[in-house]
């Protein structure tokens, strides 16, 4: 049920305004409303005070560019993998070996520190930090195990990967997934379509794209209303 306030209050009610600007609804009128009407009223008020920040964004061009860039990268990388498979030697003496691993661990340390700071300060960027840190932990486990194959340190690397690095990465990814769903839940509830949030993270729509659909729908509804109103 759409609420249509008038300068004299709610439809069918007496005057509830000061001047012609402020509509006052008392508690008795709120109690007479159905839960659906109260929810709609709360949503309308929230839209007035906190308009959705993504409604004015146009993601169509960015989406096409992202798809094209990803497709080109996949093709180039697939070709490069074939070249490496055919040309790389089984053994290679690396230079700056110490700098490579120390530098990697420094980056991992910074990622852990930024993740902790994001949690402490309650910042949205903690989601990105969790994904990056989890990915670095998986890379650390992969290279430790692969580079120690055939050596006496292989079991130590396997134990470190299974007991430390991969479980930590799993915790990071789970936390990131939970926060992404929570953020999507809050954003979609502002548009009153909270029931449409999929359970699978892969099916959660990009918020800007969903906002474009809402904006287009509002534009069509406004055009239909103008056509019906006539000249």
Report pLDDT digits (tens) over 134-164: 999 999 999 999 999 988 889 999 999 999 9
- Confidence at 200, pLDDT banded by 50, 70, 90: confident
Q: Summarize pLDDT for 22-65 with one digit per residue, the tens.
A: 567 777 887 888 888 877 777 776 666 555 555 444 556 677 88
Residue 226 has pLDDT above 90, yes or no: no
Confidence at residue 117, expressed as pLDDT on a 0 to 100 scale: 94
pLDDT at 209: 55
197 vs 28: which has the higher pLDDT? 28
Higher-pLDDT residue of 186 and 222 is: 186
- Check residue 63 and give its pLDDT: 72
Residue 228 has pLDDT above 60, yes or no: no
Among 137-141, 197-201, 206-210, whose mean pLDDT is lowest? 206-210
Domain ranges across the chain: 1-50
Model confidence, pTM? 0.64
pLDDT of residue 222: 47
pLDDT tens by residue, 76-132: 999 999 998 999 888 888 888 899 999 999 999 999 999 999 999 988 899 999 999
User: With contact defined as beta carbons under 8 Å apart, do 208 and 57 qualify?
Assistant: yes
């Amino acid at each position: 049920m759409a609420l249509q306030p008038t300068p004299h209050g709610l439809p069918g009610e007496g005057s509830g305004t000061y001047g012609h600007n402020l509509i006052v609804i008392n508690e008795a009128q709120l109690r007479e409303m159905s839960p659906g009407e109260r929810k709609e009223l709360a949503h309308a008020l929230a839209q007035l005070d906190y308009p959705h920040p993504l409604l004015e964004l146009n993601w169509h061009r960015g989406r096409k560019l992202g798809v094209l860039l990803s497709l080109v990268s996949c093709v180039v990388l697939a070709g490069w993998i074939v070249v490496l498979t055919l040309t790389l030697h089984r053994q290679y003496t690396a230079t700056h070996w110490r700098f490579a691993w120390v530098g990697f661990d420094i980056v991992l340390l910074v990622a852990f520190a930024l993740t902790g700071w994001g949690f402490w300060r309650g910042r949205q960027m903690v989601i990105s930090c969790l994904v990056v840190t989890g990915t670095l932990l998986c890379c650390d486990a992969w290279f430790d195990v692969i580079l120690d194959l055939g050596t006496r340190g292989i079991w130590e690397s396997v134990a470190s990967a299974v007991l430390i690095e991969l479980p930590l990465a799993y915790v990071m990814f789970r936390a990131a997934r939970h926060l992404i769903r929570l953020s999507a839940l809050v954003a979609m509830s502002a548009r009153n379509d909270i029931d449409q949030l999929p359970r699978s993270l892969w099916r959660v729509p990009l918020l800007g794209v969903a906002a474009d659909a809402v904006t287009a729908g509002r534009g069509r509804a406004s055009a239909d209303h103008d056509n019906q109103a006539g000249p």
